[in-house]
Structure 1
Amino acid sequence: MTRELPVGSLIGSDLPAPAHVLAPRLNRHTFWCGQSGSGKTYALGVLLEQVLLHTRLPLVILDPNSDFVRLGEVRQGVAADAAAELASRDIRVFRPGDAVRPLHARFLQLPLRSRAALMQIDPLVDFDEYNTMLRFEDEMPHVKDGDLVAHLRAGEGTIRQRLATRLENLGVADWDLWAWGKRSITDDIDERPDAAVLDLGGFSTQAEARAAALAALDHLWEKREERIGRLIVIDEAHNLCPPDPASPVDRLLTERIVQIAAEGRKYGLWLLLSTQRPTKVHPNALSQCDNLALMRMSSPRDLDDLAEVFGYAPMSLLERSPGFAQGQALFAGGFVQAPALVQMGERLAQEGGRDVPVPLR
């Protein structure tokens, strides 16, 4: 059994020495950050590949930029044994509109608060509409062919008609996200594949991407009493867990992530939050992270905030962050034996997203 995950080599050691992350300590929340161009996403891929190779910990990856959609595609030149191991893992990638694995969720199985937020219904301001939705719960199994608008139109009462009109005006019922009787992402999550990658970047609207993320996180929280260990990777976490969420859906998403950060560890729901800007992530989620991976970060404000939140990271090492080369990182917290500077290793799988090169004549 491999307890140590190889992620690269130590910087500053007299002799070449491998750098490791302690697999058992991924049962704490992890914060992964680095400014644009630092190699943050590539480095995160290195860790996730090692988790896939050496643990049975299921990954649920919320991927807003389609960076991990090729996680199961092995690169040329990778050692045959590692390539075979990675290729044998059950890695499922879900994309909007995909013919094989479309990213679908069930609108009617979302919690009431989430459905109301998607319809921009406030329980106190729009109390009649919300109350009608509350009393509609018993009817949901009887909606035919997923045609919620038609079901509401067929009923009596002006409020039901207003709900149908609201759905039509917002276009929510027509989103490609909804399964309407087909397989949902939650069905796959319950089967515990080695990795479930949700390609949120494939949606045409930000609202659908947020709804897909909310559906997955709501489901994981509702199933928390099963106490199945999972690593929930949220890339570009500032988009889903900002300190000042604006829309009702953004507020619910932030609330759910903060709730998982505060209470999820004992249920086996472990977050890995990745971002370019620590100050753009809700502080109540940030402060719950016991592991830190810091790549190049030039902003003095961000470094000051990191020093305040992550007191276990030596200031002498934090201060070196602005000078890190691409692919270099500071690892601190419970998932390493001691704080260390690391040169990240090579990826095994293909990168999903790359920088666009400057065209030369």
Structure 2
Amino acid sequence: MDVPLDRVTARSDDGRSFHIPGPVDGFVVGALVVIDDGERRQLGLVEQRDDERGHLRGRLLGLIADGLLETRATLPFVAASVAAVDPASVDLLHAATGAALEVGTDLTPPGGPAKLLPHRFNRHTFWCGQSGSGKTYALGVVLEQVIAHTALPVVVFDPNSDFVRLGELNPGASGPTADALRERDIRVLRPNVPGSEPLRARFVGMPMASKAAVLQLDPIADRQEYNGLVHLRDALDTTDLGAILPTLGSSDDPVKREMALRIENLGLMEWEVWAGTERAATDVIDERPDATVLDLGGFSTPEQQLVVALAVLDELWARREERRPVLLVIDEAHNLCSPQLDSPVAIAVRERLVQIAAEGRKFGLWLLLSTQRPSKVHPGIISQCDNLALMKMSSPIDLEGLATYFGYAPTGLIARSPWFRQGEALFAGGFVPAPTLLKMNSRVTPEGGVDVPVPLR
């Protein structure tokens, strides 16, 4: 027989976690509760239910006293009553943690706004959801809030042209977020769109290892040509490929002539990615506009997408000691981070991202990775993420992996992911006051890559 809610009692031996003997009904995993032992009131989160006995376990979030929530002070107790949280206590949690970015509506009683902590985007974030979950739309909601209500510059690697309208507003959009976005400096760089600022990379600005990756040169297998590239360092640091190619082709040195043939055979001079006399993406990002969208999907070949990504990541890493914060948003992250990618440029991009994931946080290089398939992202990157946004996900393999990597997300909430409706999500980790199930808000900017509808008669 279930214990009536007005007689539910809890116990905490360590002052950090609590246990409610079952069977108990009325409190779901993910619910906030107020625990009162007669001397003090504390806020707690239900994290786990024992399905056989109905016992509940959770963790204490803070001590409620004098109209405030002290998140660094939780105390043990022998017996305390447990009640559903009230809206005022939720407000105390938001105030105590600094949660200010309103991104949705909390689906757990008592409801109300779901908010993120803007200062905790200084940790890497992993965002995932299967096709049709509303992942890209929801990511746009969060980016709008970050761009509108923080001073953190955002760089979006956009392979499907989904965020190219981030600088526009929906007709009739109003409110503080819309008003703030109107004032923000949002640059959209596109390869082949008249009237848009071009998206370009500069070969001369890339480090030697990246130049070799573009030329598909291996230091061992292609040791003669690679050595020739090393000896051309000074020339290639000041002269672009197009200008140096005639010199290479007419040289008496057979190694240089071989390199000229390689450039021609790879068709590198036909790529539209090269900056030439135009500004490169790195030049724009160095100005730190509020947001820079890199429309990678506008290129005719995947290799050019990778070259732009590599040039940007290399430049940011080379200047990391400047400690100029930036949030690097990588949509469809499996295109840049997959362990299966095997071309030289793809490997170079992935290794740079692994390096940024492991070491970039202290330099202000913070990642937000979004993907449909977590299993296709390099585990060395996922394991460095302290924030999780999970939308509908039906793959058992992916869900099992997420539960392993993100121990701070209650497994009971992760397990509910296959039944999420479009636009619903679980947020967990440092950027949310407590693990939260929510329905995302509407966007104030248009989505660039909406689905094509099925023609009907």
1:107 and 2:203 aligned: yes
Deviations along 1:184-208, whole A, 9 cap, x unmatched?
Answer: 1110010001111110100111111
For CA contacts below 8 A with separation 6 or more, give which structure has more relative contact order. 1
Equivalent residue in structure 2 for 1:129, among 199, 222, 225 = 225
Range with greater deviation from structure 2 (91-100 or 351-360): 91-100
1:151 & 1:183 partners in 2: Cα distance? 25
Deviations along 1:99-149, whole A, 9 cap, x unmatched?
Answer: 441111101211111111111110111111111111111123553794231
Partner of 2:166: 71
1:23 and 2:129 aligned: no
Partner of 1:155: 251
Contact 2:173–2:444 under 8 Å retained in 1? yes
Deviations along 1:19-63, whole A, 9 cap, x unmatched?
Answer: 011000000000000000000000000000000111010001100
1:52 and 2:141 aligned: no
Contact 2:161–2:448 under 8 Å retained in 1? yes
2:341 alignment partner, SS class = coil
Q: Which has the larger radius of gyration?
A: 2
2:131 & 2:238 partners in 1: Cα distance? 49
Deviations along 1:262-318, whole A, 9 cap, x unmatched?
Answer: 000000000000000000000000000000000000011110000000001001101
| % identical equivalent positions | 57
2:238 & 2:392 partners in 1: Cα distance? 54
- Aligned residue runs from structure 1 range 173-252, under 5 A: 173-252=269-348
Range with greater deviation from structure 2 (244-253 or 56-65): 244-253
2:209 alignment partner, SS class = helix
Partner of 2:64: none
1:275 & 1:141 partners in 2: Cα distance? 36
Greater share of residues in helix: 1
Q: Number of aligned pairs?
A: 360
2:277 alignment partner, SS class = coil
1:62 and 2:129 aligned: no
Matched letter for residue 331 of structure 1: F
Deviations along 1:66-98, whole A, 9 cap, x unmatched?
Answer: 000000110012115433321211110111123
1:210 & 1:166 partners in 2: Cα distance? 19
1:348 & 1:336 partners in 2: Cα distance? 22
Range with greater deviation from structure 2 (147-156 or 305-314): 147-156
1:142 & 1:32 partners in 2: Cα distance? 40
Matched letter for residue 300 of structure 1: P
Contact 1:146–1:181 under 8 Å retained in 2? no
For structure 1, which runs of at least 5 residues remain unmatched after alignment? none
Distance 1:211 1:151, change over 3 A: same
1:298 & 1:144 partners in 2: Cα distance? 48
1:145 & 1:335 partners in 2: Cα distance? 44
1:255 & 1:56 partners in 2: Cα distance? 29
TM-score, normalisation: structure 1: 0.97
Contact 1:5–1:21 under 8 Å retained in 2? yes
Range with greater deviation from structure 2 (97-106 or 200-209): 97-106
Contact 1:148–1:173 under 8 Å retained in 2? no
Contact 1:29–1:270 under 8 Å retained in 2? yes
Contact 1:238–1:280 under 8 Å retained in 2? yes
Equivalent residue in structure 2 for 1:272, among 351, 368, 379 = 368
Contact 2:203–2:241 under 8 Å retained in 1? no
Range with greater deviation from structure 2 (325-334 or 94-103): 94-103
2:360 alignment partner, SS class = helix
Partner of 1:353: 449
Deviations along 1:220-242, whole A, 9 cap, x unmatched?
Answer: 11111110111000000011000
Deviations along 1:305-358, whole A, 9 cap, x unmatched?
Answer: 000000010011011100000000000000111101010001010111101111
Equivalent residue in structure 1 for 2:393, among 297, 313, 321 = 297
1:279 alignment partner, SS class = helix
Range with greater deviation from structure 2 (284-293 or 204-213): 204-213
Greater share of residues in strand: 2
1:26 alignment partner, SS class = helix
Alpha-carbon distance, 1:161 to partner:
0.7
- Over the aligned positions, Cα root-mean-square deviation in angstroms equals 1.5
1:134 alignment partner, SS class = helix
Contact 1:278–1:302 under 8 Å retained in 2? yes
Matched letter for residue 59 of structure 1: V
Matched letter for residue 47 of structure 1: V
Alpha-carbon distance, 1:162 to partner:
0.7
For structure 2, which runs of at least 5 residues remain unmatched after alignment? 1-94
Matched letter for residue 28 of structure 1: R
2:388 alignment partner, SS class = strand
Contact 2:241–2:269 under 8 Å retained in 1? no
Partner of 1:92: 187
TM-score, normalisation: structure 2: 0.77
